[in-house]
Amino acid sequence: MTADIGARLREARLQQGLSLRSVAQALGVSASLISQVETGKTQPSVSTLYALVTHLGISIDDVMGTPARAVPEGPEAVVMPAYAASPPVQRAADNPVLEMENGVRWERLAGENGPADGLLVSYDPGASSSIEGKLMRHAGIEYAYIIEGRLTLQLDFDTYVLEPGDSMYFDSVRPHLYSNNGDVVARGVWFVFGRRQQNLAMPTAPGTEPRGAGVPLSSAVDVLRAMDDL
């Protein structure tokens, strides 16, 4: 079930009355790139997608077409967590899918709106989370297990090559970049805990406005802090 990323991003932008140029200037990219993403002529990189959904004040669930479920009011909200309403089993054919630039693929696993974000992630040979080589930062604690292939992780100033059976764990606020420098697909399972809670707790940088305000974001933390539903 592949998500129509571009159409949903365009709809979110138009709902807020933002122009292509203003969004492009805020993210430091060209307006033509945003236009090509919205029309489906190209796919965003992981880092570009993070920046777009943050600036537009939407979540990855929104882009995938799986909007967050309403939290019940009254006693039910205390007795039953919001994620308890999710089906206990999700079939492979029903996995929401995001196809991104240069061969990065995300499949959303069961447990939407749960305490962790579960993803089956694939990197084609030569693929990277950012073709510009930019390291990402976002709230949460990241866990991953490599199933096949070899994936290179750049974390701060250190570089690690992970192979099948290897696992990793780190605070996602630390700058990081994934890349597949091999000749076969690299695939693994990711779980990110606490991203919603940490994003909500991260302070707004002085001089900036809340997410979705259409103003430039002044730091990597500001670019990702608004992803409270990711």
pLDDT in 10s for each residue of the chain, 230 residues: 455 788 889 999 999 999 999 999 988 889 999 999 999 888 888 878 877 887 888 776 677 766 544 444 554 444 445 555 667 888 998 888 888 877 999 998 887 766 777 899 999 999 998 878 888 877 789 999 999 999 999 999 999 999 999 999 999 889 999 999 999 999 999 998 875 444 444 333 333 344 333 333 333 333 334 333 33
| Long-range contacts (CB closer than 8 Å, 24 or more residues apart) made by 20-26 | 22/214, 23/52, 23/55, 23/56, 23/214, 25/216, 26/55, 26/214, 26/215, 26/216, 26/217
According to the model, what pLDDT value does residue 54 have? 77
Contact 86, 115 (CB under 8 A): no
Q: Roughly what angle, to the nearest 10 degrees, separates helices 31-38 and 46-56?
A: 90
Residue 175 lies in a domain: yes
For the chain, the domain total comes to 1
User: Backbone phi, then psi, for 116, in 5-degree steps?
Assistant: -135, 150
According to the model, what pLDDT value does residue 152 have? 98
Residue 16 lies in a domain: no
Residue 179 lies in a domain: yes
Q: What is the SS3 assignment for 183?
A: coil
- Domain of residue 174 covers 90-195
Residue 150 lies in a domain: yes
Give the CB-side neighbour count of residue 220, counting CA atoms within 13 A: 12
Give me the amino acid identity at 171.
Answer: D
Percentage of residues of the chain with pLDDT beyond 70: 70
Q: In what order do the strands lie in the sheet with 141-148?
A: 97-100, 104-108, 116-123, 186-193, 141-148, 167-171
Residue 83 lies in a domain: no
Residue 15 lies in a domain: no
Residue 128 lies in a domain: yes
CATH assignment at residue 106: 2.60.120.10
Residue 65 lies in a domain: no
According to the model, what pLDDT value does residue 148 have? 98
